[in-house]
A and B are shown apart, each in its own frame.
Chain A
Amino acid sequence: MSLSAKDKETVKTFWAKVSSNGEAIGADALSRMLVVYPQTKTYFSHWQDLSPGSAPVVKHGATVMAGVADAVAKIDNLTSGLLSLSELHAFTLRVDPSNFKILSHNILVVLSIMFPTDFTPEVHVAMDKFLAAVARALSEKYR
């Protein structure tokens, strides 16, 4: 299920519209993930406050979305473009890759809330495929 030229175009166009809200999207998506999928909290035991909108959650949401923005810029070669991020996730963070799907789902929910008219089914499928491709690129160095 690789990204077609049309998918890439759709992602880039939609991202241009929403990227200025990147930090808010990240904060909300991460907040939701921690509430709706409490097992994900196991990766953040070093944070004082895991509640929605808390300082570490907001800060980390911004970090994650900066990574997504980077991926959009490198959409033509995600595997090589995200190599160092993959190494980070594989060797240092060691996040189980099943969690990429969970966070992706929550990003899509937030996009649907914040951009109800722009997040059409066509944009939805392109973004879903894109986030899955990002997840695959992040998983590259795992084993």
Chain B
Amino acid sequence: MVQWTDFERATIQDIFSKIDSAVVGPAALSRCLIVYPWTQRYFGSFGNLYNAAAITSNPKVAAHGKVVLAGLERAVKNMDDIKTTYKDLSALHSEKLHVDPDNFNLLADCLTIVIASQMGQAFTPDVQAAFQKFLAVVVASLRKQYH
């Protein structure tokens, strides 16, 4: 089981209480599709992903960014057992969506960068460490049901 220090727990709760999920989710997903264009392979039905401007203004990308962030918020509410919380989500990504789990790290990196730009100097090294540990647990939990 993952051990969270008081600082880590408080930091994660604090970050997610302060961010505008309607902004962060879409920003992180669109950044991922721009910075790592091969991730677009999973979004063939999303229409125009032809360039950065198209991706940033694509309403399906924005909507899906919010879905992703809502998923993360479930992990924030269940930090002591993200593995169980994500069991079905992991199976979904593996069996139905067929997402290469290495992509989870790419999205995680984009989330880190978006949160960093939002928080500025408040995103200290210790805060970054806590946030990246949280994302690492999320990614590991999403990988769990792959076989």
Contacts and interface: CB of A to CB of B under 8 A. Distances in A.
Interface string B105-140: 000010011101111110111101100100000000
Interface in A46-70: 52
Contacts of A34: 125
Given A105-B109, A109-B116, A113-B121, A121 B30 contact: yes
A112 B113 contact: yes
A86 interface: no
Interface residues on A, range: 10 to 19
Interface in A17-43: 31-32, 34-36
Interface residues on B, range: 20 to 34
A125 B30 CA distance: 12
A137 to B, nearest CB: 21
B34 A124 contact: yes
B116 to A, nearest CB: 5
Contact of A109 (B30, B55, B113): B113
Query: What's the dominant secondary structure at chain B's contact region?
Result: helix
B23 interface: no
Contacts of B112: 109
A36 B34 contact: no
Nearest to A128: B35
A109 B128 contact: yes
A128 B119 CA distance: 21
Contact of B117 (A31, A32, A112): A112
B34 A116 contact: no
Given A105-B109, A113-B117, A128-B35, A121 B125 contact: no
Given A36-B129, A109-B116, 12 more contacts: A34-B125, A35-B126, A109-B112, A112-B116, A113-B116, A113-B117, A121-B30, A121-B31, A121-B35, A121-B56, A122-B34, A124-B35
Closest 5 pairs (CB-CB, A-B): A35-B125, A116-B117, A121-B34, A112-B117, A125-B35
10 contacts: A32-B125, A35-B126, A36-B128, A52-B124, A109-B116, A113-B116, A113-B117, A113-B121, A116-B120, A122-B52
